[in-house]
């Protein structure tokens, strides 16, 4: 068995004295693992950093085997992504989210979106944390959809209206309009306008609403059933947003 694909490095774990097991998010093969001989060498260790993109050739006798990766660098962006605490936490959050996907199950839209976002961050003169966080919040909405737990934000669950959608039911995951939410506002999750393509004020309050929304359903459908806690990186990313909000006051 053999195939070639490009992949985003999610992480590695040590295997023996000189090798590593590499975890990639590939364009056509999904999340895939393989052994890299000499992966701890001076030549390969900098290449196999989370956030870099590599060209990978995977070989194995049988498809169900771990297999061997042969790696060549394509895009080296890791060094630029770890220069700021905010971008570090953003990178760790995104790679952590991709690890929630089943192995060897293609998700080309997610792969392409993360690659594009990391390129934008790495190439920016001064990455803006709020812009990065906005992308991650939207990404989490798509991630829920890809995992089979998508929210219905197309129309109000109470009135059927498609305008003025300001809330989401924490039970059903359906949108609720301002009129439909009267008297129940404190029981609903706020829906940030940018999550449905609306105009955003670009502020941290909207981001907190967005992350609270996606975090609720990630905890309910993904973290809880798998016995996981919210990733530390995601928590720290929200802390960074809170600090920006406090500094702006």
Minimum mean pLDDT among 49-58, 65-74, 148-157, 239-248: which range? 239-248
Average pLDDT of the chain is 93
pLDDT at 215 exceeding the cut of 70: yes
What pLDDT does residue 228 have?
95
To the nearest whole percent, how much of the chain has pLDDT over 70? Answer: 98
Confidence class of residue 44 from pLDDT cuts 50, 70 and 90? very high
- Separation of alpha carbons 198 and 192, rounded Å: 8
Confidence class of residue 249 from pLDDT cuts 50, 70 and 90? low
**Domains of the chain, earliest start first:** 2-77 (2.40.50.140), 80-248 (1.20.1440.120)
What pLDDT does residue 66 have?
95
Token code pair at residue 62: 């049988």
Confidence class of residue 248 from pLDDT cuts 50, 70 and 90? low
Per the CB < 8 A criterion, the answer to whether 217 and 151 are in contact is yes
Minimum mean pLDDT among 29-33, 40-44, 79-83, 140-144: which range? 79-83
What count of other Cβ atoms lies within 10 Å of the Cβ of residue 5?
Answer: 18
pLDDT digits (tens, 9 = 90+) for 81-122: 988 888 899 999 999 999 999 999 999 999 999 999 999 888
Confidence class of residue 201 from pLDDT cuts 50, 70 and 90? low
pLDDT at 129 exceeding the cut of 70: yes
What pLDDT does residue 202 have?
61
What pLDDT does residue 135 have?
92
Q: Is 49 exposed, middle or buried (0-12, 13-18, 19+ CB in 10 A)?
A: middle
Residue that wins the pLDDT comparison between 188 and 121 = 188
Query: What is the DSSP secondary-structure string of 80-125?
Result: HHTSSHHHHHHHHHHHHHHTTSPBT---HHHHHHHHHHHHHHHH-S
pLDDT digits (tens, 9 = 90+) for 142-169: 999 999 999 999 999 999 999 999 999 9
- Separation of alpha carbons 7 and 127, rounded Å: 23
Confidence class of residue 230 from pLDDT cuts 50, 70 and 90? very high
């Amino acid at each position: 068995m053999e195939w070639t694909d490009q992949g985003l490095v999610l992480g590695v774990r040590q295997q023996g004295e000189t090798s590593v097991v590499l975890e990639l998010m590939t364009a056509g093969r999904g999340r895939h693992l393989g052994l890299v001989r000499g992966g701890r060498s001076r030549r390969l260790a900098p290449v196999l950093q989370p956030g870099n993109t590599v060209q990978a050739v995977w070989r194995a006798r049988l498809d169900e085997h771990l297999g061997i990766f042969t790696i060549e660098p394509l895009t080296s962006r890791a060094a630029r992504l770890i220069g700021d605490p905010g971008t570090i936490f953003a990178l760790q959050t995104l790679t952590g989210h991709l690890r929630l996907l089943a192995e060897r199950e293609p998700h080309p839209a997610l792969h392409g979106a993360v690659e594009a976002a990391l390129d934008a961050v790495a190439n920016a003169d001064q990455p803006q944390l709020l812009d990065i966080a906005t992308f991650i919040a939207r990404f989490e909405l798509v991630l829920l959809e890809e995992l089979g737990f998508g929210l219905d934000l197309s129309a109000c669950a109470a009135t059927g209206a498609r305008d003025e959608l300001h809330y989401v039911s924490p039970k059903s995951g359906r949108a609720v309009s301002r009129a439909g939410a009267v008297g129940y506002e404190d029981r609903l999750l706020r829906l940030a306008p940018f999550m449905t393509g609306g105009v955003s004020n670009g502020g941290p309050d909207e981001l907190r609403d967005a992350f609270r929304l996606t975090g609720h359903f990630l905890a309910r459908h993904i973290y809880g059933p798998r016995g996981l806690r919210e990733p530390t990186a995601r928590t720290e990313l929200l802390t960074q947003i809170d600090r920006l909000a406090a500094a702006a006051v």
